[in-house]
Amino acid sequence: MNPAPQHALRLALFEPDIPQNTAAVLRTCACLDVAAEIIGPAGFVLGGAKSRRAGMDYLENAQLTEHDDWAMFQRAHAGCRRVLLTTKAAMPYTTFDFRPDDILICGRESAGVPENVHAAVDARLLIPMAPGMRSLNLAVSAAMVLGEALRQLNVFPNDAK
C-alpha cells in the first residue's frame, strides 16, 4: 500500500455489495491519491476471486482501511466531518464547501445507508440530475464529488501550483 496522502480527505464505502464498483472506486482513489475506507460487512470477499477479476489489482496502490462495521468506523474517525452522498439530500454537492478532513461516504448500491447513518453524518449531499432520473452509478457518483472536493481544496496529485 502507498503512504498516506498529503491531505486527510477520504472516501468511504458503506457495506459495498458490487465488487466491480468497489474496484472502480479504489482505482479512482489510488489514481487521485485519496485514502479509501471500507465499512463492512461487504457483500463480497475483498481481494477474493471476484474482486481480482473486477480489477482490484489497484488494491496494492490504494491506501485502504477496512472497518468491521459502522461503529468501528465512527470510533476511528471521531472529530472528522462525515459527508454522505445520497439521493435523499437537499444540498447539491456543487454548492458545498469541502474541507481537507472530510470523509465522503457512499452507501450500498442496493440499499444506500440506514437511518442511523443518515442521522450520524454531518452533511448530506446530492448530485443534481435530470427530472425523472433516480441515481447514477456509485463509482461515477464518487468520482464526480471527489473531483469537486479535490478541485476546491487544490490537492489534485501532481498539480502544477
Q: What is the mean predicted confidence (pLDDT) over 27-46?
A: 92
Q: Which segment, 51-65, 108-122, 147-161, is predicted with the most confidence on average?
A: 108-122
pLDDT at 158: 80
CATH superfamily, domain 10-153, is SPOUT methyltransferase, trefoil knot domain (3.40.1280.10)
Backbone phi and psi for residue 57, each to the nearest 5 degrees, phi listed first: -65, -15
**Cβ atoms 161, 154 nearer than 8 A:** yes
- Closest residue by Cα to residue 46 from 56, 60, 33, 58: 56
The tens digit of pLDDT for each residue in 105-153 reads 999 999 999 999 999 999 999 999 999 998 899 999 999 999 999 999 9
What mean pLDDT is reported for the chain? 89
pTM of the model: 0.90
pLDDT bin (cut points 50, 70, 90) of residue 61 is confident
Residue 87 pLDDT exceeds 80 = yes
Question: 3-state secondary structure string, 113-129?
Answer: CCHHHHHHCCEEEECCC
**What is the SS3 assignment for 158?**
coil
Q: What is the mean predicted confidence (pLDDT) over 9-27?
A: 93
Domain ranges of the chain: 10-153
What is d(CA 8, CA 135) in angstroms, rounded to the nearest whole number? Answer: 28
pLDDT at 128: 96
